[in-house]
Structure 1
Amino acid sequence: MTLGLGCVADLDDSGDDQFRVINGAPAYSNVDKYAATVGIHQRSGNQVSISPFCTGTLISPEVVLTAAHCCDEAMGGSNFNPMEPEEASVYFGDGPAFVGNAVNGDFYWVSEVLVHPSYNRYSLANDICLLRLSTPNHDSPTVPHLPASIGLSNNDAGVMLDHVGFGYADIQKSEYGVKLQSEVPIAGLGCAVQGCSSGGYTTQFSYEQDGSPYYGPCNGDSGGPAFISRNGTQYVAGITSYGDAQCLLYGVSTNVSAFQGFIDDFIGEAAPDCSADSQCNVECGPGEDPDCGGGGGGATCDNGVCEAGESCDGRNGTTSCSADCPGKTSGKPKKRYCYVGNTCEGPGCP
């Protein structure tokens, strides 16, 4: 979390080339999926822009999902130019981010920006970008990305998706910077709405928003989520990408389930938090977390049984006994595990 923040109007980028929710209802952070919806602000040193230029979603404590065109600084040509991590800050709150000079929420710095390598600046194909926070936010809820196994298909036509963003609240573009939401039914994969550019990609989906009765994202909500409920669980199904200039015909979002591998690889690369915080992180390797110190326990090592007081690496005051207690404490965090007595701890437990 950042301290000593200042706000400056001239960093604000609220131009009409971004995508925002029209006639949306307030999306208050007492609802988990809305709390996980974040604003992305420009940053210069310890100063951030008054208003966000894009929206995103916290999908793990340190990873934000947004649109590639939000992360692209190229001024022209076909090649994209990712912004530097120190040029962005992630806002947690309902907005506006500043009330006078006081911060109305929390800002987190960014340590890494990854634009999809096949992002096309002209067609907006593969319009997806991932941000890594410099410090994980364990206080905010997260919403998982929709996996391919239950991904969107044309059978989902008519299903309501909940679009959220910090953009303009009306066609006149007189209000922005407050988190809003609007439910709009999906029309189908690719461009399935009249007026949408011919064809499209199955890595995208489209929806109608002509005001009869649905309005959806418009200028300023780029990168924002479209949430879907599958079997009682909320997932991020879409990333707001583009639409018609007047926001009165159609909108197109990136189909998140088509990028599961890209997202999973980025999340899996994250190093676990092994700092001295009075909590032993089971994803840390031997000796990496000072809160997982070894010794004690009174157990007998090398007897072939992982007894009470023993563990694979000596965490929580137990005796380190890898001969008796299986474990994998290196490699990708999601594959790590450790037996403590007869209990397996960690995401990779067999």
Structure 2
Amino acid sequence: MLRPRQLRPATLIEKGSKGAFCCALLLTAGCALEAGSPQEGVGTAEQKIAGGILAPDDPAIVGLEGAGKIGCTGVLVSPRVVLTAAHCLDGDVIRAVLFGSSADGGDTIGVLRGWKHPDHQTHSANHDLGLLLLDAPSDVPPLPLNHEPLTSANAGAHVRIVGFGQTGMDDTAAPRKRQGTSILASVSPSTLTIEPSPARPCVGDSGGPVLQTRGEREVIVGIVSKGAATGADRAEAARVDAALEGFLRPLLAMIEATSGELGDPCALDDNCGAGLCLSPEDAPSFAYCSRPCATSADCLPDMECAPEGPDRHVCRYDGPSPGALGAPCQDHGGCEFGLCAVFAADAPAICSALCFPEDERTCPHGGECTLIPGTDGTFGCAIREEEGAPEGGCSCATPPGARESGDGVVTFCWAALTAAWIRRKGGGRRE
């Protein structure tokens, strides 16, 4: 099950209701499209997706289940990882993914954790990408990601879209997987635009893949995000190739790792050489590899050998964990609550949390609600020295992609996370 704003062991990321993510798709008076001339591989007897046909032969395209319904689509990109839209991770918890062609049948696999692209902003197609970690591997062959940069030269090419969306705004039938053909109309730095030919996405197709044939195979070139402002006949998708280095490759590498060292980031126990991935209570989004210990000499210099249950001790950070309130930070993505702030001119940057002085419980996780210098009235929770961390932090307002309190999702900043671990690991074992 999904861990919140991160990766907390049993917190699920649920999918939003139709009303919550309707605006992130093609908000039109109705998604039904006037069918154009038949395209190769696209039938006309039942103009669905809208404008497509049933798709029983796409086992890697899955439905995201939450709150008793399928609210979004996703695509398997490795045996335990599903790629979808970041906005699909807002709202109701995603409890499982459905492998099959209809909500009325098929197999499901539970969801452990989820990540959103750190640069994604609500209601924007830019960087609208998320990953879900399954609690067991699937034997379905995953679909490959596109590794070749898209350019304006790709405009005009046919692409295939697949999803569990509605066939129209008045469609109340159980979701069924459908496919259709569209045209890649334009390419921007982080998104692509598709036009019907004759198919287009509708509500519930968010997170589904935009597929293009390269050579002898189809690759995922984009993930369906939203309708474009230029008209109802266009839809936007987040480009996969634009997110490879800063989001997809590092996360997939971490998930597939099997020999992580003490202090390395992790998602599963299997990622760690000692078989122990620890999610600290003060920063559960920033899980790290630990190991059993007898004394603190078995741990890194700024770790201690702490009790873990009645029968064993494990290595934990002594003081705030990386990403926790009061921990040193370089940017917002390196903090549990998505805010890195400086509270005094000569102070270092530390992780904080957005707060509002008028609230009764302004800083429930600790610290005092303090004005961040250099901002337009933004307040953050500042940890006092007596609370175990120096005051300080970079003068900045709430950043793009900052996590919202309680969304149950982690926004992943690989560079910040890796840098934090490098700083904390600093030298090896204590002597």
TM interval, short-chain normalised: 0.5 to 0.7
122-131 or 234-243: bigger deviation: 122-131
Across the two proteins, how many residue pairs are aligned to each other?
227
Query: 1:13 — aligned with what?
Result: 17
Q: CA deviation at 1:14?
A: 3.6
Query: 1:167 — aligned with what?
Result: 165
* Identity percentage of aligned residues: 30
Provide the TM-score with structure 2 as the length reference: 0.48
Query: 1:88 — aligned with what?
Result: 95
Please tell me whether residue 25 in structure 1 is matched to residue 53 in structure 2.
yes
Q: 1:259 to 1:284 in 2, by over 3 A?
A: closer
Query: 1:222 — aligned with what?
Result: 206
CA contact (8 A) 1:67 1:222 kept: yes
CA contact (8 A) 1:217 1:247 kept: no
Q: CA deviation at 1:170?
A: 3.4
Q: CA deviation at 1:35?
A: 0.7
Query: 1:145 — aligned with what?
Result: 145
1:128-164, Cα deviation, whole Å (9 max, x unpaired) = 1011101111x212101111xx232111111111001
Q: CA deviation at 1:267?
A: 1.1
Q: 1:55, 1:208 → 2: CA distance?
A: 19
Q: 1:132, 1:62 → 2: CA distance?
A: 6
Q: CA deviation at 1:172?
A: 3.9
Q: Alignment partner of 1:53: what SS?
A: strand
Q: 1:214, 1:130 → 2: CA distance?
A: 29
Q: Alignment partner of 2:202: what SS?
A: strand
Please report the RMSD computed on the Cα atoms of aligned residues, expressed in angstroms. 3.0
- Name the amino acid aligned to 2:84: T
Please tell me whether residue 252 in structure 1 is matched to residue 252 in structure 2.
no
CA contact (8 A) 1:17 1:220 kept: no
Q: Pick from 223, 229, 245: which aligns with 1:239?
A: 223
Structure 2: stretches of 5+ with no match in the other structure = 2-14, 26-30, 32-48, 260-269, 276-431
CA contact (8 A) 1:215 1:248 kept: no
Please tell me whether residue 40 in structure 1 is matched to residue 53 in structure 2.
no
1:27-71, Cα deviation, whole Å (9 max, x unpaired) = 113xxxx1100000105xxxxx1x310000000000100001101
Q: 1:205 to 1:135 in 2, by over 3 A?
A: same
Q: 1:39 to 1:207 in 2, by over 3 A?
A: same
Provide the TM-score with structure 1 as the length reference: 0.59
- Name the amino acid aligned to 1:266: L
Structure 1: stretches of 5+ with no match in the other structure = 2-10, 44-48, 74-82, 99-103, 191-201, 275-282, 289-350
Q: CA deviation at 1:26?
A: 0.8
Q: 1:228, 1:183 → 2: CA distance?
A: 10
Please tell me whether residue 269 in structure 1 is matched to residue 267 in structure 2.
no
Q: 1:236, 1:175 → 2: CA distance?
A: 28
- Name the amino acid aligned to 1:140: V
Query: 1:177 — aligned with what?
Result: 175
Q: 1:22 to 1:230 in 2, by over 3 A?
A: same
- Name the amino acid aligned to 1:206: T
Query: 1:186 — aligned with what?
Result: 184
CA contact (8 A) 1:207 1:251 kept: yes
Greater than 6 Å deviation, 4+ residue runs: 283-288
